[in-house]
Chains A and B, each alone.
Chain A
Amino acid sequence: MAHHRSGSNFLNDLLQAHPRIECINEPLSMHTRYFRECDLEPWTGDDFDPVLLHRSLASHEILRAFLFDFRAYLSQSSDTRVIGFKDTIFFEKLEWLKAFIPSLKILFLRREPRSIVSSVLRTKLLELWDYARLVPPAFRKVRPNYVSQVDPADQAAAAAELVAMSIVTRHEFARRAIQNFDHIEVHLDDLMRRPGEQLEAVAEFLDVPPHDGPLTFLQQRQEMSRGGMFSSFRVQEDVRNAWERHLNPAQLQAIEDVLRCQ
């Protein structure tokens, strides 16, 4: 689980470099449209229904079949092969997810917020994820005291503020529910700076023996930057410090204001 543009494609590929790990990519957000449309709408454990799964899914027969198959697919996970998935949504539906798939463990990937904001803005994902419609109302619920200082005419700062709100909102939802799961937090910077130590912790968490595949993968992918928007071939400099080149002072101030608000 990770916020958009936190390096989750990279981690997904990295995990799959281990011969005992299979990790499918965004089954909920890129193989249905439903969960993008109701992103940030909280579902609780009490909302889980063993037949309908959730009352809002009553008329979505194919989606329910997909979700039941999804659970059956994940349940093949065993001592010899760990099967999981990566996604960038469901922070606010974790309680429901726990009721649906009780055995799920969560690896929560985090990244420096300014890097996330910078990357989301550069990859023009605001529209795809409908941030303008979905994020402000959800953010107001987790940070009701926030008062924006952003000049309404400064669209760049407003966009940065919006992404920072998304980060705070999703991470707050995660903080409230993640203790229901066996979980681990991994920071992308730590993974790049101290890969051996981090990969060992991940292997222990997933109960697989250490393997040199992920470390080799990580080293190869950091040799050069190439490929498309979602490529995981990136030198460290392009991952860690790109925000310094791309965010202006007003954007940085907006991000800081959002992050500091309690």
Chain B
Amino acid sequence: MPVSPDLECDRDHAISFVARPHGTSRGRHIRVARTLVTCATAARVLNQIGMPPEAQSAYRHVNVHNPHCPLFFSADERAWACPAALENHPVWGINWAGASLICQHLGGRLPSQQEWECFASNNDPSRTYPWGEAPATHLLANFGEHFGGTSAVGSFPASELGLYDLAGNLSEWCHDHLATAGAQPSPCERVVKGGAWSKDAHYLEIAMSRGKWERLGTTTIGFRPVWDDS
């Protein structure tokens, strides 16, 4: 089933937002995709880019070596595809470089960690979850193995900005390298935010950040593009 047109992951359907970190008066104008990039969108973009199949014994962008990877290269069609049942699900199995590439093709980019925290909290640094302070439940987000896997985008209530799955379903690649206190940023780890279908509730907290090896396309990380608004 195709995703609702309102939830298309492109600039025209994105939410205009001014990121004001730490309550600053001058903010950064961006547009934020309402949903994580879906499997259908990822397959379409890979085909538009002309991404060849991942024919090597290790992958460049798409982890086709995980037997459950939702994306595959159809030898008959000579194109990337996904199972029909997963078209509306957020795509996983794409590493940081692949996520960046797809965002770039969509005319956008991955958000910075700071931007992500701004739009997830609607510029409220005191907020715990995208919906506020209420404890996480399976009615608010897909986390803690309540559903055993990803769910279609738009399945849970949107934030007040109209953004879906800021907490749960899949974590989200950010642009930044992981920086830990008193240490240089890790050259091979990128920040991920937002928790995921298999993770516990505390990963859903806006302030929670993890660093993940950027080479891996895992079962719990997706991505959401943003666009700079002049």
Selected interface stretch from A65-73, A167-175, A181-189: A65-73
**A126 and B76 alpha carbons, distance in the complex (Å):** 28
Judged by a CB distance under 8 angstroms, whether A76 is at the interface is yes
**A226 proximity list for chain B (CB < 8 A):** 145-146, 148
One digit per residue, 1 when the CB lies within 8 angstroms of any chain A CB and 0 when it does not, for chain B 190-230 equals 00000000101000000000111101111100000000000
Alpha-carbon gap, A135 to B60, bound state (A)? 30
Contacts of B198 on A, CB cut-off 8 Å?
13, 227, 231
Q: A24-B213, A25-B218 are in contact. Are A63 and B57 (CB under 8 A)?
A: yes
Query: A50 within 8 Å of B by Cβ?
Result: no
Could you say which of B2-10, B33-41, B45-53, B61-69 contacts chain A?
B61-69
- Judged by a CB distance under 8 angstroms, whether A259 is at the interface is no
B1 within 8 A of A: no
Q: How many residues of A contact B (CB 8 A)?
A: 35
Chain B residue with Cβ nearest A26: B66
| Given known A-B contacts A25-B218, A60-B57, A80-B183, A31 and B63 have beta carbons under 8 A apart | yes
Main secondary structure of the interface of A (DSSP, over half): mixed
Question: With A and B bound together, what is the CA distance between A73 and B188 in angstroms?
Answer: 6
Q: Give B63-94 as 1s and 0s: 1 = Cβ < 8 Å from A's Cβ atoms.
A: 10111000000000000000000000000000
Contact A231 B65 (CB under 8 A): no
User: Chain A contacts of B66 at CB under 8 A?
Assistant: 30-31
Given contacts A34-B57, A231-B145, A231-B198, contact A73 B211 (CB under 8 A): no
Known interface pairs A31-B65, A33-B57, A228-B145. Does A76 touch B186 (Cβ–Cβ under 8 Å)? yes
Given known contacts A66-B215, A217-B200, is B188 in contact with A76 (CB within 8 Å)?
Answer: yes
Q: Which residues of B contact A17 (CB under 8 A)?
A: 200
Instruction: Tell whether, in the assembled complex, residue A233 and residue B145 are in contact, meaning their CB atoms are under 8 Å apart.
Output: yes
Give B198 Cβ to nearest chain A Cβ, in Å.
7
Once A and B bind, how many residue pairs between them come within 8 Å at the CB atom? 81
Main secondary structure on B side of the interface with A: loop
By the criterion CB–CB under 8 Å, are B180 and A73 in contact? no
A102 within 8 A of B: no
B139 proximal to A (CB < 8 A): no
Chain B residues, Cβ within 8 Å of A69: 188, 215
Report if B149 contacts A (CB, 8 A). yes
CB distance from A54 to the nearest CB of B (A): 12
Q: Is the CB of B60 within 8 A of A228?
A: no
Asked whether B58 lies within 8 Å of A34 as measured between CB atoms, the reply is: yes
Instruction: Determine whether the beta carbon of B56 is less than 8 Å from that of A62.
Output: yes
A60 contact from B58, B146, B215, Cβ within 8 A: B58
The answer on a CB contact under 8 Å between B58 and A66 is: yes
Instruction: Give chain B residues whose Cβ lies under 8 Å from the Cβ of A148.
Output: none
- Cβ contact within 8 Å between A233 and B144: yes
Contact A128 B145 (CB under 8 A): no
Nearest A residue to B180 via CB reads A81
CB of B138, distance to nearest CB on chain A (Å) = 10
Which residues of B does A touch, CB under 8 Å? Answer: 56-60, 63, 65-67, 144-149, 180, 183, 186, 188-189, 198, 200, 210-213, 215-219
- Having A60-B58, A62-B60, A220-B200, one finds 14 other A-B pairs with CB under 8 Å, namely A24-B216, A25-B218, A27-B216, A31-B215, A32-B57, A34-B57, A34-B58, A60-B57, A80-B183, A128-B67, A226-B145, A227-B146, A231-B145, A231-B148
Closest 6 CB pairs of A and B: A227-B145, A228-B148, A34-B57, A63-B58, A66-B58, A62-B56
26 inter-chain pairs at a CB distance below 8 angstroms, sorted by A residue, are A13-B198, A22-B210, A30-B63, A30-B66, A31-B58, A31-B63, A31-B217, A32-B57, A32-B59, A33-B65, A34-B57, A34-B58, A61-B56, A62-B56, A62-B57, A62-B58, A62-B60, A63-B56, A72-B188, A226-B146, A227-B145, A227-B146, A227-B148, A227-B198, A228-B149, A231-B198
